[in-house]
Structure 1
Amino acid sequence: MRKILIVGAGQSGLQLALGLQAEGYEVTLMSNRTPDEIRTGRVMSTQCMFHTALQHERDLDLNFWESQAPKTEGLGVSVAGPDGARPIDWLGRLDGYAQSVDQRVKMAGWMETFAQRGGQLVIHGAAVSDLDYFSRAYDLVLVAAGKGELVSMFGRDAERSPYTEPQRALAVAYVHGLGPRPEHPDLDAVRCNLVPGAGELFVMPTLTTGGRADILFWEGIPGGPLDVFSGVKDPAEHLSLTLQLMERFTPWEYARATKAELTDANGTLAGRYAPTVRNPVGRLPGGGLVLGVADVVVANDPITGQGSNSASKCAAAYLASIVERGEEPFDEAWMQATFDAYWDTARHVTKWTNAMLGAPPEHVLNLIGAAGGLQTVADRFANGFNDPADFENYFYDPEKTEAFLAEAAAR
């Protein structure tokens, strides 16, 4: 069977490695950390995954934590007004529940499973020079490591990348002790709190190394009042800043966070990056080619919570393309076509995410406001997180929005 190398052991790299392994391929996986180093390291993301992405894991029997992780059945939006008011506050119901499993738990567990099933796990931080050699030893090399030197092999696609600078400053804290939302005390939901002109606060349940927890995630417009986490190294200070901002801008969320404490000393994360789409084929100095995977080639801002979802969908699309290729060569034309098939899904995520990073136009404000009184609008918006392609039907065009709202009101 054909030999495939995957560099990077995140959602996409591991899902793809385990999927190819199940199909009988000889797979080598390179990671710059051991499973134990991942498990005891710093949190890596918020990773709320919706139904379609979760189903890809189920299809490969990789949903090891489904019975333990909180089942997120709703997605709510609140808009902060002056003086702690909430002019908009509603909850949409998801058709299929979402789940978040701390990537320290999932990636460490999946890596161990890959090795137990006979896969070759190499702990090594790969450089371009390494891949130059490996491209001659393997039928296909896939790069799924979204940070570091390797990303520089994939040129920026200017037409698909409207931003050259980070659009949000990101700050995450995993906590125990968060109380329920009084509006729905018995239902787990992702809560999106929009603070006009400043940024967003997302609150979501998760399963972490110490069991059930919640994630507090600030997205601040650079240079604004939420952009205060740069240089903060102390986890306690990070949490204190998180709570101070909640008390000032989202007091309804702060009210249930007065007893919150960090899940562990590595339960915080801060940073920023520019949303970027890159060309999918990387050229090595020796003439070999490698194919970029997931956020190596399509890196969106996490404002729409699509990172892990997109990684799962990319891995599923690439798996199908590799298997379908049979014994034919994995040449440049095939690499481009494989990415293009994934881009047909990913383009909707990129368009929606980039739209949400800007100031919302009037018809979008009307849509978000109308969801407070029309449950069908709230539900459809919530389910767009699972299928962002649906936003084409009613979100971007004012006339389509008006027609949808009129139809929903008539019902």
Structure 2
Amino acid sequence: MPLAGPVDIPYTKCMNKSRTNLPSAIAKGRAATENSAGRFERFDTIPCDDGWGYDDDLPPLRTEIRHETARSIITYNRSPDLPFDRSINPYRGCEHGCIYCFARPSHAYLGLSPGLDFETRLIARPNAAVLLRKELSAKGYTVAPIAIGTNTDPYQPVEKNLRITRSCLSVLTEFRHPVAIVTKGALIERDLDLLAQMAEQGLVRVGISLTTLDADLSRRMEPRAPAPNRRLKIIRRLTEAGVPVRVMTSPSIPGLTDHEMESLLEAGRDAGADAASWIMLRLPREVSQLWQTWLQEQEPTRAEKVMSKLRQMHGGRDYDPRWGHRMRGEGEYAEMVAKRFSLAVKRLGLATRTPKLRCDLFDIPPQAGDQLTLF
């Protein structure tokens, strides 16, 4: 996959403005077909036919990577909806390009579009492992599981060469620090040596997102993520290595994929997963328009039904950001999906709550220049 060379940028600087919206031929292999400016921008660029048309010979969009010199790497949260209070995200933006990704709006903070820019203009944090070592070694640090991949995928294609996620995982292994990983990426198999070692000590759990078993729908909706069958193989390889895996039927899309819930859970269980979870489709900020554009282009006969069901669960709105509601919605339809999930996991023997990751093994390894203990 062609990549533009990385460019270093200061933490406090934004990248240049978003590119204009591009024709679908140039955006081939991407989920978004628009590139509207983020909500903080004063101006937007609108394509206009000047009579000359587009050059059919223009190459497809290339993935660009820029380096950010981060000041810190562990992000803390107090969300009552999340089972963790800290996380690491080695990358901003995600080349998997899932059209429904709730993290798309975060690209607006960089002066970039949550549309095509989110999929093609990525930010990497090459000093992540150095910062992680420093923050874990800080006096007064209190250990608790760290989540990796909560915003963008830590095993997206650029990780193959940059290896930032692996470097962070190596630090966590050295410190014997508990970690929970969420991914769709097959690159996680590369790190089985570290994951198996951590699993033996009760320090790791992995969640694999499985949205649909329909390979064609997955290709259109998640264009650069592994196909459904490949994700099932990831689950199998991890569990065969002793790494506990949760199958995540997320997001569940009403009128499009929610009918697959039981099949997804069964496929995950058969591949070796011992636990399961689900989240309803979320459409915060710019994601709503991107999603609706995709629906009209890719699933026009289902578009009205999908949006109608979503609005029923969010009080007539595309999305309700309130704590306790944003992940599942409310009302009869949401309750029905939740009940189906509950009955299915019970029948299949899948857990919804798993044993806590161990925190008692955490230990700061000796650093260069430290005075060694006598015993």
Q: TM-score, normalised by structure 2?
A: 0.23
| Richer in strand (by share) | 1
Which of the pair is proportionally richer in helix?
1
Larger relative contact order (CA 8 Å, sep ≥ 6):
1
